[in-house]
Amino acid sequence: MSEQPWRNPRPGPKLPEVQPRLSHLLIPQGLRSWWPALLCAVIISVLSTDRFSSEHTAVVFEKIFRWIIPSLTAGQFEIIHYCIRKTSHLTEYFIFCVLLYRGIRADRQGWRWSWALAALLAAACYSILDEVHQIFVPGRTASPYDSLLDSAGALIALAVLWFWFRRRKSALQSERT
C-alpha cells in the first residue's frame, strides 16, 4: 500500500450490495411489478387473432400428430385438438392471474384475499373483453364457455397460490420455533 498512497484502502461494494439500489433507480416499482402481467395480456390478445384460430392451429398440430402417430384418424385428431385448445385457455389465464396477483401485491409480503379477488376480477374481465374482441375478428368465434374456462383457470391459479402461501407461512413458523 505504501507504493500507492492515492488508493482508497476501503474495498468497493460488491454487486449484491449495490444491485437492489440500482434496480430502484432504473426501473420504477410499478413497472417492475406489472410488466409481466402486461406482457401476458398482450400475448393473450395476439393469440385471439385470426392467425391462432382453430383452422390455423389445426394445420400445425395435425402435422405434428400425424408424424408422431401415423394411424391417427380425423375424429381422434379433432378430439386432441379440441383438448389442446381448451387446456390452453386454462393455462394462459392461470399464468395471467398469477402475474396479476404479483402486480397487485407489488413489494408487499404474504397473502391477502383482497389482492386475490382483485386479480380474479381483472382476469375475468379481461377474458370477457377477449371474447368480445373475437366477435370482430374474422375466422374467430366468441364463446361465453371459453370465458368461463378462462375464469376457471384464474380461480385455480389463486387456489394454488393460496395453498403455496399457506404452506410457506407454516414452514416459516415451524423454523422459528
- The pLDDT, as a whole number, for residue 15 is 66
* pLDDT of amino acid 24: 59
Task: Please report, to the nearest 10 degrees, the dihedral formed by the alpha carbons of residues 111, 115, 116, 121 taken in order.
Answer: 180
List, in sequence order, the alpha helices (H) in the chain. 15-26, 29-47, 54-68, 74-105, 113-135, 144-176
Output the pLDDT for position 19: 59
pLDDT in tens, 131-155: 999 999 888 888 999 999 999 999 9
pLDDT for the residue 13: 65
- 175/99 Cα distance (integer angstroms): 28
pTM, two decimal places: 0.80
One-letter amino acid at 17 equals E
Taking the chain (177 residues) in consecutive chunks of 10 residues, what is each chunk's mean pLDDT? Answer: 70 65 62 90 93 86 91 91 93 97 89 95 96 89 92 97 90 76
Q: Kindly report the CA angle at 84 between 41 and 88, in degrees rounded to 5?
A: 15
Question: Any idea of the CA torsion for 116, 120, 126, 130, to the nearest 10 degrees?
Answer: 140
Q: What is the pLDDT of residue 16?
A: 66
What local confidence, expressed as pLDDT, does residue 10 receive? 74
CA distances from 20 to 13, 15, 17, 40, 136 (A): 12, 9, 7, 25, 45
